[in-house]
Amino acid sequence: MELIDGNAIAESVLTQIAAEVAKISGRRPAVAFVRVGEDPASVSYVAKKQKTAAQVGMTSRLEIFPESMTQADLLAKIDSLNRDPQVDGILVQSPLPKHMDETAVFNHVHADKDVDGFNTLNIGKLVQEDPSGFVACTPAGIVELIRRSKVETDGRHVVVVGRSLIVGKPVGLLLLQKGLPGNATVTFCHSRTRDLPAIARTADILIAAIGRPRFITADMVKEGSTVIDVGINRVPDGSKKSGYRIVGDVDFDAVAPRTARITPVPGGVGPMTVAMLMSNTLKAWKKRHG
C-alpha cells in the first residue's frame, strides 16, 4: 500500500504555478474572495486560500460583508467585481446565510471569472468536454492526484459514492471524458443505491464523497484498488484540545491495507483543492490576457 501524499503533490503543483507567475511582467493574477458573515470554518478556509495565493505570487483581496446583508446587495457587489479589470477570479465562500440562494449567487459570478467552477455555463462545458471552462476545484484536484500518481483510468471502473454537484457528479464526468486521465467506466452510487458494498467492491478506483464518517469499510473495497477519500467529517475526540478530530468517509485503518494506493485525511484531497484554485486563477488571468 502506497499513500497518495496530497500535500506533496499540491506543493509541486503550486511550485509550477509560482514559476509561471514569476515570469509575468505587469499585473499578476488576482483573485477576489467574498465572505459573508463570520463562520469560523469559512474564516479559516479563506485565510488559507489567501496565504496560498501570496505563496505563488498572486494578489488577493478579501471583501467581508455582514450576515444581515441582502442578496440583492451581494449581487451588486459581485457585479462590481465582474466589471473590475484588476480582478481575474472571484470566489464567494460557501456557506452563504440561509436567506440567500447559493445557486443564484454563484451563477452571478461571470463565467470567465468563475474560478470555483460553480457557474451553470462551466458545468455545461464540463459535460461537453470543452476545456475552455473552469472545473470545480475539488474534482479537478482529484483528477490531478490521479494523474500525478499515475493511476490508470483507461477502461477501468471508477465508482463514485455521492452524487453532489460540488464533487460527485463533476469528478465522475471528468473521468468519463475522452482522453487521459479519463476513458473510465463510471458508476455513481448514493444513499438510495441498493447493495452499495457489492458495487463498490467492483471499483478499480473508489471515490468516497458521501459526507459520512468512515462510511467505506474494508468489505466494500477490492484488493489492490485505489481509494480517494474526499470526506472531511468532524468526530468527537476527547484527547484533542478542540474536542474533535477530522476523519474521512473511509475507515482508513481497516481499508488501507487492502488498497494499492489511498489518500489520507487530512493531507489527501484537501490540499489539492486550494492548489487547483490557484491553477484556475492563473487560467482566468490567461483568458484576460489572450
Residue tagged active-site, from 88, 112, 114, 116: 116
Active site residue 116: yes
Among 148, 190, 212, 287, binds a second copy (CB under 8 A): 190
**C-beta closer to a second copy: residue 149 or 183:** 183
Binders in 78-107 for a second copy, by CB under 8 A: 103
- When asked if residue 224 is in the footprint of a second copy (CB under 8 A), the reply is no
Yes or no: say if 273 and 11 are a contact pair by the CB < 8 Å rule. Answer: no
Of the candidates 202, 137, 194, 165, the residue with the CA atom closest to the CA atom of residue 6 = 137
Pairing of strands 244-247, 233-236: antiparallel
Residue 113 is placed in which grid cell?
A: 471569472
Considering the complex, what minimum distance in angstroms separates the CB of residue 271 from a second copy?
Answer: 26
Q: Which of 77, 88, 93, 169 is catalytic?
A: 93
> ∠ CA(125), CA(128), CA(134), 5° rounding?
25
Query: Is the CB of 5 or the CB of 129 nearer to a second copy?
Result: 129
**49 included as an active-site residue:** yes
Closer to a second copy at the Cβ: 61 or 157? 157
Residue 5 annotated among the catalytic residues of the structure: no
Nearest approach in angstroms of CB 33 to a second copy is 23
111: which 3 cell numbers? 463565467
Q: Which is nearer to a second copy, 42 or 187 (CB)?
A: 187
Question: Interface with a second copy includes 130 (CB under 8 A)?
Answer: yes
Q: Which residues contact 190 (CB under 8 A, 6 or more apart)?
A: 161, 162, 163, 168, 210
Q: Report whether 209 contacts 263 (CB < 8 A).
A: no
Spell out, one character per residue from 106 to 125, where the chain touches a second copy: x when CB under 8 A holds, - when not. -------------xxxxxxx
Query: Which amino acid would we find at residue 58?
Result: M
Contact pick of 14, 115, 140, 189 for a second copy (by CB under 8 A) = 189
Please measure the distance between the N-terminal and C-terminal CA atoms of the chain and give it in whole angstroms: 44
Neighbours of 77 (CB within 10 A): 19
**Choice between 108 and 156, CB closer to a second copy:** 156
What is the spatial distance between Cα 63 and Cα 33, in angstroms, rounded to a whole number?
A: 6
Site string for a second copy, 144-173 (x = CB under 8 A): ----------xxxx-----x-x---xx-xx
Residues 6+ apart with CB under 8 A from 4: 145, 149, 226, 228, 261, 262, 263, 264, 268
Size of the site for a second copy (CB under 8 A): 37
**Chain contacts with a second copy (rule: CB under 8 A):** 103, 119-130, 154-157, 163, 165, 169-170, 172-173, 176, 178, 183-190, 192-194, 199
Active-site residue set = 49, 93, 116
